[in-house]
Amino acid sequence: MRQEATALPLRVDGLRFAAGGVEILRGLDFALVAGAPTVIMGPNGAGKSVLLRLLHGLLEPTGGTLHWSLPRDEARRRQAMVFQRPVMLRRSVLANALYPLRLAGAPRAEQAARDALERVGLAALADRPARKLSGGEQQRLALARAWALRPEILFLDEPTAALDPAATRQVEEIIGAIAASGTKIVMTTHHLGQARRIAGEAMLLLDGRLNAQAPAASFFDAPPTPEAAAFLRGDLLW
């Protein structure tokens, strides 16, 4: 059987981003491969959100290159992103889940949307206005909306930053299920416990530079850099 072409691995070469004369990312070199979730950590303002937007193609690098394993547009179609504050279209829950599927011309879109809502436990709310959902429900809808597309890669920017512990737990479960379904998760968080629970691989971004990248087990048990060790202890850096 012929292996389906994939966008991953992605090789990132000397990635830079500057805005308004300020260097936000100062030359990042790393690779992203298929498999367990990659969690990007770092203090506030380190450049995590900017990095995700660059990888997803919402921002143009001011230096360096992204080498996808597929042509850029093709790679782009295989990605989805969920933002820190979910953007809810002024439509029903179901219509929100349907929107990107219709846009992508997906076959059997309605069934795919309903299935995705079912998987995140929102099937019963399908006809409700999306903006009337609670914060946790909105984030679950944003995840369902992305998951319905069956993306190869899903970028998540601090997906639980605004949620209470119960909603956070639900969202983490969904993220685990999405990863288990074969989607590569690339997410940022500044919540250490969450990083430990989810990460297969961990990256530490400090002041616009990639300080460390390692498999989760070694990153957390034997931090590869002094800064990573300090970060894990909760010293300085925040």
Partner 1 sequence: MMLAAGLIATGDQALLQIVGLSLRVSLTAVAAAAAVGLPLGALLAVTRFPGRQGIVVALNALMGLPPVVAGLLIYLLLSRSGPLGAMGLLFTPGAMIIAQAVLIAPIIAALTRQTLEMLWEEYAEQLRSFGAGVGRAVPTLLWDGRFALLTVLLAGFGRASAEVGAVMIVGGNIEGFTRVMTTAIALETSKGDLPLALALGVILMAIVLAVNALAQAVRDLADWRGA
Ligand X SMILES: Nc1ncnc2c1ncn2[C@@H]1O[C@H](COP(=O)(O)OP(=O)(O)O)[C@@H](O)[C@H]1O
Q: Which residues bind partner 1 (CB under 8 A)?
A: 56, 58, 76-77, 80-81, 83, 87, 89-91, 99-100, 103-104, 129-132
Smallest distance, Å, CB 219 to ligand X?
18
Task: Give the whole-angstrom CA distance, residue 215 versus residue 140.
Answer: 27
Helix, coil or strand: residue 47: coil
Smallest distance, Å, CB 217 to ligand X?
24
Smallest distance, Å, CB 20 to ligand X?
5
> Looking up tokens 């319905």, which residue turns up?
148
> Residue 36 or 126: which CB sits closer to partner 1?
126
Smallest distance, Å, CB 150 to ligand X?
27
Burial class (CB in 10 A: 0-12, 13-18, 19+), 122: buried
What's 4's DSSP letter?
P
> Residue 7 or 212: which CB sits closer to partner 1?
7
User: What residues from 8 to 47 belong to the interface with ligand X (CB under 6 A)?
Assistant: 19-20, 24, 42, 44-47
Range 89-107 burial, b when 16+ CB lie within 10 A, else e: beebbbbbbbbbbeeeebe
> Residue 132 or 233: which CB sits closer to partner 1?
132
For 29, other C-beta atoms within 10 Å of its C-beta total: 12
Point out the residue whose Cβ comes nearest to Mg ion: 49
